[in-house]
Structure 1
Amino acid sequence: MDLKEIQNLIKFVANSGVAEVKLEMDDVKITIRTTLEGNVTEATYVQQLPVQNALPQAAAPQQITPVAAAPVAEPVETNNYITIKSPIIGTFYRKPAPDKPMFAEVGKTISKGDVLCVIEAMKLFNEIESEVSGKIVKILVDDMSPVEFDQPLFLVDPS
């Protein structure tokens, strides 16, 4: 039962003059109570009951909205660039400590093995090293923001 159906049910019950309606379906239990004066809805309870031994095809599809990491200010031609991606999930830091300088800046030339950033995962700080040599063209993630596995972090021009 979706939200629109629940809203329509509430309107129907409010206009019918019934004081209380209880509805139980497979895994949903709904109770709607109204006051008699003015037919105003007083309380609506929607309770999801635990489902035991549910079949996978019986499960309702859930909509997952992806979260964007950082807004892109301008489009960058990425055909000639190498993308350095996050090898783990965690929090992205551009500095080794708050009072230290940044590991990598846009325009900086890097070599293979240079530390580009730190990703903190479960209180462990993991140094992310460059696997290529080149010049940093763009940093795709803001400092101190969460990153996902395989999320692009840097664009590097290898030429």
Structure 2
Amino acid sequence: MTGVTRQVAETEGLTDVELAARLRMTLGRLSRRLRQHGPQTLTSSQASTLASVETLGPVRLGDLAAAEGVSAPTQSRLVASLEAQALLRRTPDVDDRRATLLEITPEGRRQLEQLRTERSAFLVERLGTLSPAQRAALVSALDVLEDLAET
């Protein structure tokens, strides 16, 4: 029995609860493995904050906290640590002089790109160990995983 055939046979009899638990455990393990690769200068929360600021562009602290799903005080501590490393900076909000916006710095972009490059290299290495059938199964599963992530 090939790895793909064995996986299909193993999952056909799973309940939704069992499948959810297996998926959660597997994604958690993969996520931990990925976090081990790349610059160790950033925590996962700092990397997530930096990536959100990059994506959102200049953003207010409250809006960033909402996007990250954390409280404003927690986000404020994360931002302060990233500012101390010169990875984020505050700029005045031209539309509201009382407010400031957060922007990623060139060094922040460099570190984020390095993190992504090293984590992608780890995945490329692991993908190279897959058989053609496993790669095809992964490609098919990606559509489903992307749908799960969107809902």
Same fold (TM over 0.5): no
Shorter-normalised TM-score: what interval?
A: under 0.3
Task: Report the TM-score when normalising by structure 2.
Answer: 0.23
Higher normalized contact order (CA 8 Å, seq sep 6+, divided by chain length): 2
**Which structure: greater helix fraction?**
2
TM-score after normalising by structure 1: 0.22
Structure holding more strand per residue: 1
